[in-house]
Chains A and B, each alone.
Chain A
Amino acid sequence: MQVRNVWTVRAMVIVAVLFAALMFSPEHDARPTGISSVDSGCSCHSQTPSSEVVASITLANGSALPENYEPGATYALLISFSGGPAEDNNPERVNTGGFNLVASKGTLTPIDNTTQILAGELTHTDAGNDQQAWNANWTAPTSGSAVLRLMVNSVNGDNSASSDDSWNTVSYTVSGAGGEAPTMKANGLTVLFSGILLTAILFAIALTYVFYVRDPESFSWARFKPWITHWLTSTDHKSVGTLYFVSGLFFLGVGGILAMMIRIQLSSPGNDFLTKDEYNSFFTLHGTVMIFLAAMPLINGFANWIVPLQIGAKDLCFPRLNAMSFWLQPAGAILLLTGMFSGMGADVGWTGYQPITSTTDHYGATFWLAGQVLLVASSTLTGINFIVTIATMRAPGMGWMQMPLFTWSILVSVMMLFISIPTFGIGLIEAYLDRTISTTFYNTSAGGDPLLWSHLFWYFGHPEVYVVVVPAFGVISEVIATSARRTIFGYRSMVYALAGIGFVAFIVYGHHMLTSGMSPLLRFVVMLTTMLVAVPTGIKIFNWLKTMHGGSLVYRTHTLWALGFLVTFTLGGISGMFFPAIAMDVHLHETYFVVAHFHYVLVGGTVFGLFAAFYYWYPKITGRMMSERLGILHFLIGFISYNGVFWPMHKLGLLGMTRRHHTYYIRADEYSDIIGTLPPEAAQWNFFITVCAFMFFLSNLIMVYNIIASWLNGRKAPADPWGGWSFEWMVSSPPPTPSFAEIPTLLNANPDHAPGRLTGMLERIMTPDPGDEGEEAGH
Chain B
Amino acid sequence: MSDDHGYHHGPHDWSHGAPHNSWAPIVISIGSGVFLFFFAKAFTMNEGMNGYIYDSAPLPLAIAGLAIIFAGLISWWKQDFSFDGSYEPQATHGSAPFSNVDIRKVGMWVFLMSEMMIFSSLFSTYIRYRTSIVSCYSLEGTVVEPGTACWLPASYFIAKGGEHANSTLGFMPDALVPGAINTFALIISSYTIVMALKTAKRTDLEHAERSIKVRNYLGATFCLATLFLVMKMVEWFIGFHIGPFEAPSLLSDQFTIHNDAYTYNYGHGAEAGAMTVDIRMAASAFYLTTGTHGVHVFAGIVGLGYMVVKAHKGGYGPGNAVSIEYFGLYWHFVDLAWVAVFPAFYLY
Contact = CB atoms under 8 A, between A and B. Distances in A.
A745 to B, nearest CB: 8
Contacts of B22: 233, 235, 320, 323
Given A232-B23, A422-B114, A440-B257, A332 B18 contact: no
B18 A779 contact: no
A443 B37 contact: no
Interface stretch (B173-181, B247-255, B278-286): B278-286
Given A392-B91, A396-B93, A436-B40, A766 B101 contact: yes
A253 B36 CA distance: 26
A449 B52 contact: no
B95 interface: yes
Contacts of B42: 436
Chain A interface residue number, banded: 35 or more
B20 interface: yes
Given A320-B22, A452-B128, A445 B149 contact: yes
Interface string A370-400: 1101100100100111011001111111111
Say what secondary structure dominates the interface of chain A. helix
Contact of A426 (B88, B122, B258): B122
B107 A318 contact: yes
Interface stretch (A56-64, A359-367, A698-706): A359-367
A230 B100 contact: no
A370 B217 CA distance: 38
Contacts of A226: 4, 6
B124 to A, nearest CB: 7
Contact of B29 (A236, A318, A327, A435): A327
A438 B54 CA distance: 11
A370 B257 contact: no
A672 B56 CA distance: 59
Nearest to A238: B1
Chain B interface residue number, banded: 35 or more
A471 B111 CA distance: 22
A438 B49 contact: yes
Contacts of A383: 110, 114
A767 interface: yes
A334 B103 contact: no
Contacts of B19: 235, 319-320
B322 interface: yes
B138 interface: no
Nearest to B148: A447
A447 B148 CA distance: 9
A222 interface: no
A302 interface: no
A436 B54 CA distance: 9
A335 B201 contact: no
Contact of A425 (B26, B30, B43, B118): B118
B96 interface: yes
A326 interface: yes
B137 interface: no
A755 interface: yes
A348 B212 CA distance: 56
Contacts of A331: 29-30, 32-33
Nearest to A379: B114
A318 B18 CA distance: 8
A400 B128 CA distance: 40
Given A314-B17, A330-B29, A436 B278 contact: no
Interface stretch (B187-195, B300-308, B313-321): B313-321
Interface string B5-27: 01010000000011111111110
A367 B40 contact: yes
Contacts of B115: 422
A387 B23 CA distance: 25
A504 interface: no
Given A391-B95, A438-B51, A426 B121 contact: yes
A300 to B, nearest CB: 14
A420 B121 CA distance: 10
Interface in B31-80: 32-33, 36-37, 39-40, 42-46, 49-52, 76, 79
A236 B118 CA distance: 29
A427 B128 CA distance: 13
B325 to A, nearest CB: 9
B166 interface: no
17 contacts: A233-B21, A235-B18, A315-B18, A327-B28, A370-B37, A374-B36, A383-B114, A394-B95, A399-B96, A423-B117, A425-B118, A438-B45, A446-B149, A447-B129, A746-B94, A761-B97, A766-B98
Interface of A: 226, 229-230, 232-236, 313-315, 317-321, 323-324, 326-328, 330-332, 334-335, 338, 358-359, 363, 366-367, 370-371, 373-374, 377, 380, 383-385, 387-388, 391-400, 418-420, 422-423, 425-427, 429-430, 432-441, 443, 445-449, 452, 455-456, 736-738, 743, 746, 755, 759-763, 765-768, 774-775, 777-779
Nearest 8 Cβ contacts at the A-B interface: A331-B33, A392-B91, A762-B97, A324-B25, A447-B149, A327-B29, A323-B25, A763-B97
